[in-house]
Chain A
């Protein structure tokens, strides 16, 4: 997040500083979370976000290993009504009986399940099985 991006260094006062912060903090932030059976071992090997024609690699070359049962990634900060496309990839190093992907944003606070799409439904991942997903999201 870039703070004071709109602040004019040649002409500002206290009010301008506060306005700039309000502007920065009111921008919606988007997150993707994965919840899965604790102690099961998974690797998040792919996470990308596409905005307009630009695609960004959110893992930046290094896959993330985890076995805590929960992992959250910051997707980015976007203007309202921006359409983004998220792609993810997870591989089970052990079998994972239950897993689910959720999306969340701030300003306003929104959160719901994106994969599997039916709320409350979970997905299992076999050992050495790759779970890949893709969905579009319009920032509120």
Chain B
């Protein structure tokens, strides 16, 4: 029932977003590496690696359902501010009753508004459209105009391909996560003599992420995380500091439409109908106060091979099979929990 409710909310959310931005083209350039889903399990809710105007992902799995939204509000402005301000990000996420709010700043030198974007633009060399010659029929000139239009489309696409090639992105983020009950009367429902809802802040999260995009079909991403977390909201809990990080690699392995280079989606957003294979490794280890670690787990390693199915800009999803190794103070556990992740993003305000 709970899952059905979550799915319904997710669909309503998607419809709301789609309708709200119906006039905006989906400039989904490349979200597998630099997207908010590059850390699918341990750091999914606090990852802010997205540089799109809006990016969301909704994940369904046996144990963990999460919804998140990353917004870059300054991308809504016609006058684009410079550098760090342009890429100021806000994160809102929810996972298993824990609500997370974050703020981040980033650098993205694949942006057409970056200095690198200006430099690449200044190297663009385009032949102008010629006038109709006296001995040329209208039909011949129309044919020339059509081929010239295609030439321009390719030049725009080339510009964005060059922007992506060997580009990097940096993100520094801070997130704060709250337990589901953040106020009201203090209660001891389980009668153990300890207030159940003594604490409201579940964790403070600091992260530094870096992504490197080789080209539009491959990239890598790495991040460092410092998390200060409570195991529960109950009275007497002490914060557990964690150190961790992640590494992600993704590569396009199959193009679903070999004629994609003449498609409107490619010219508009470099979208390539394709299947992308990727792999993520996430790691987290408690540094002290082991007795207060959530579920007693002091070390967590997650290996997640995944496949991104990019059918069209509005229809993209990811299938992943995380293999988790959990270490508590006295035992090791291994688990397997496939998930499906649905993503939606808009790179920029359309007009």
B-binding residues in A (CB < 8 A): 37-39, 41, 43-48, 55-57, 59-63, 65, 67, 89, 91, 93-98, 124-128, 130
Q: Does B73 contact A (CB under 8 A)?
A: no
A56 to B113, CA, bound (A): 34
Chain A positions within 8 Å of B143 at CB level: none
A128 to B351, CA, bound (A): 12
Chain A positions within 8 Å of B79 at CB level: 37-39
Contact across chains for B159 and A61 when beta carbons are under 8 A apart:
no
Q: Does B83 contact A (CB under 8 A)?
A: no
Q: A37-B79, A39-B113, A41-B121 are in contact. Are A60 and B149 (CB under 8 A)?
A: no
Q: How far is the CB of A76 from chain B (nearest CB, A)?
A: 14
Contact across chains for B128 and A45 when beta carbons are under 8 A apart:
yes
B151-176 with Cβ < 8 A to chain A: 152-153, 155-157, 159
The 8 A-B pairs at the shortest CB distance, nearest first, are namely A124-B351, A59-B128, A63-B126, A46-B129, A97-B78, A63-B128, A128-B156, A55-B131
CB-CB nearest in chain B for A63: B126
Q: A124-B351, A128-B153, A130-B149 are in contact. Are A41 and B131 (CB under 8 A)?
A: no
The tally of residues in B whose CB lies under 8 Å from a CB in A reads 32
The one of A41, A45, A56 that contacts B126, using a Cβ cutoff of 8 Å: A45
Chain B positions within 8 Å of A93 at CB level: 112, 121, 124, 156, 159
Q: A57-B130, A57-B131, A61-B130 are in contact. Are A94 and B124 (CB under 8 A)?
A: no
A52 to B341, CA, bound (A): 63
CB-CB nearest in chain B for A125: B351
Q: Does B122 contact A (CB under 8 A)?
A: yes
Contact across chains for A67 and B267 when beta carbons are under 8 A apart:
no
Contact across chains for B25 and A45 when beta carbons are under 8 A apart:
no
Contact across chains for B156 and A130 when beta carbons are under 8 A apart:
no
B126-158 with Cβ < 8 A to chain A: 126-132, 149, 152-153, 155-157
Q: Does B96 contact A (CB under 8 A)?
A: no
Chain B positions within 8 Å of A130 at CB level: 149, 152
A57 to B128, CA, bound (A): 9
Contact across chains for A48 and B156 when beta carbons are under 8 A apart:
no
Q: Which of A55, A94, A125, A127 is the most central at the interface, judged by chain B CB atoms within 10 Å of its CB?
A: A127
Chain A positions within 8 Å of B267 at CB level: 128
The one of B125, B131, B268 that contacts A128, using a Cβ cutoff of 8 Å: B268
The one of B127, B132, B348 that contacts A95, using a Cβ cutoff of 8 Å: B348
Chain A positions within 8 Å of B155 at CB level: 43
Q: Does B350 contact A (CB under 8 A)?
A: yes
Contact across chains for A127 and B156 when beta carbons are under 8 A apart:
yes
